[in-house]
Amino acid sequence: MLYGIIKHLHIGCVALSGAGFVLRALWTLTGDPRMQHRITRRLPHIIDTVLLLSAVTLAVMIQQYPFADSWVTAKVMGLILYVVLGAIALRHGPTLTVRLGALLAALATYAWIISVAILKNPWGFFAV
């Protein structure tokens, strides 16, 4: 039962994190002042912390770990790529074209990470 609760918490945080990223990207690209609000700056860190803690908890519960299980390793590597692309899209992209490209690549990476989790296959949707 505890596993199911943590898994649903994790999935909920995945959805909130992705939706929040899209919203912040839109606000960044349009210059919306809500991007500077204190909640906009802090809430993603809270959601992502709960997401990461639930992921670690689930990995321990099912005894599948990065560098021991290929699909978990793929998710971790994908997460690192997603964070880098997200930073470029939201803050560090020097031009609108670079930011848009990073945004699209980050969203594709996000979708791939989810597919890896669902399929338990390091290739994710590329395996289908």
Q: What pLDDT digit, counting tens, does each position of 92-115 carry? A: 999 999 999 999 999 999 999 999
Stated pTM of the model? 0.89
Which two tokens mark 15?
């959805």
pLDDT in tens, 55-70: 999 999 989 888 888 9
Q: Average pLDDT of 63-92? A: 92
| Amino acid in position 93 | G
Question: Rounded distance, CA 50 to CA 74, Å?
Answer: 20
Q: What is the dihedral of CA 103, 104, 110, 112, to 10 degrees?
A: -160
pLDDT in tens, 4-58: 999 999 999 999 999 999 999 999 989 999 999 999 999 999 999 999 999 999 9
